[in-house]
Structure 1
């Protein structure tokens, strides 16, 4: 990874407020068809080089950061599977990096191993309390470290299977509702806009009944690709259930949500789906006022129902 400018202290605060970006659509599409990704965070270039050599030989894709600020900046662009994190670095300590990441539910999909020369038990306890999953002291046996990384990857895989829809590779409803609650709290606290789009494939039951569930699954899979293509990195697309999708739009007002829903609607209408099927989708859009997440979902779903009643293949907002 090419060197990047470290974050200034005030930018670190901004990062904490917007860490939802780290679980980007690029992460979802990368999924398990690529090699596991490991981020090495250490201010010692010799340590980074040694780890890179061993981990590359083991078949992992390696990224590097020389301090905590650079690590957080990197994570805004991709989500590693495992982070090897030095404890004592200039600027942010490993403790602070852990604590920053673990404030957000997405970080549950990252396995953090503290890798440090500090052997004091109180540091080990503090590191684990701050959110590290494992603690390895230097000097270490590379075979043992590789074994611990494999344990971490198995742990991450189980967690991902629990929050990702297996067919579409979008977030499932369980994770989406956790993220929704977090974003509602953040929007209310900082007086930020928050908009929700609910979408439903028109006449999907007819597709399943006429052509079979394999064709229906292919439509859902292709639909998820279109959603990811049109969503920003900060947006959170999910499969709500069946043929229904949800997209959470942080820092977006109702007009922005309407515009995105309309772009997606047009893209789906003109998309050449497999077997030549013509697919349309209806959308409901609502923005957070002073309600909670459940009421926001209720209003977006009511707008979606209105779109269905209005003839389908349209966007209706809760105004």
Structure 2
């Protein structure tokens, strides 16, 4: 990597010295900065090829640091890697939304992950001829994304239950549910899947190995649920190692391998998930009845519209299954400025019980009003998604 420069911004002297020594051993030119302010000065003065920084800077909040870098034409396109001493999901989400290209947590495996990123960026420049990347399959399947503005709305459970009913309504179709909620997923637990194959293990495989045949052959079909499942990250530490561009590669392959691709994104609205939402044929937005969730959902809707997403593709679902209290459908629609297409009725303890037993609601409670709504709404989702896909 001769000639490439990396700016390290880290207030921890031991960490900064260790990183600098490691990067110099790989023949990078290294610039060091102990504070956020010094880091910004160095970034704009020296214009390094890459900036490696700890977002927990004492003098400049990570969000502000990123805003300044991305807001200046000198560093607007600079490759940014966050190497964070904060393992929490809030820090990760702030950094990804703020514009980092990669996010790592300081851990025993961080240096190996960093080396893999640097090799991927710069290795091709060190050889005269590199093999072409694997071709991106053309989109063919119908893509449905499940999204929420706030946690606790039952999005993952509804995603699994609607997917199961879509499979029942389309028995000849191949359906995949992919749990992309980061840093930790939950659909595997809901459907009773205990296998070791998940988003993290798949993302760590070479891209040429994870082709259409690989997914169709290896992904499990949980009993009673009918669809194939790509389970989510099993824990936050592993989830924080998943590379954003790898997720998009995986989804592109799934689009060529399945008739319906149903993604659970949860509240993980970020630079990773936004491209997936933009290419979706239908966006199922799950809301609960409390006012804070409705307000956050309004903010999400407004943001999506600024990103060129057609509001007609948003299929809002009001989930009353876990509680009767809160705003009415009319009140929620007035705040969001968006029609609610379906309301899931209150189910008392039955909603939680079905989840705990790893059973679809329509199988556990076939005569319940919720089961009738799930079936009808699943058919409506398919019709709408197909209509938007045909445009």
Shorter-chain TM-score range: 0.3 to 0.5
TM-score (structure 1 length as normaliser): 0.36
Higher relative contact order (CA closer than 8 Å, sequence separation 6+): 2
- Structure that is richer in helix per residue: 1
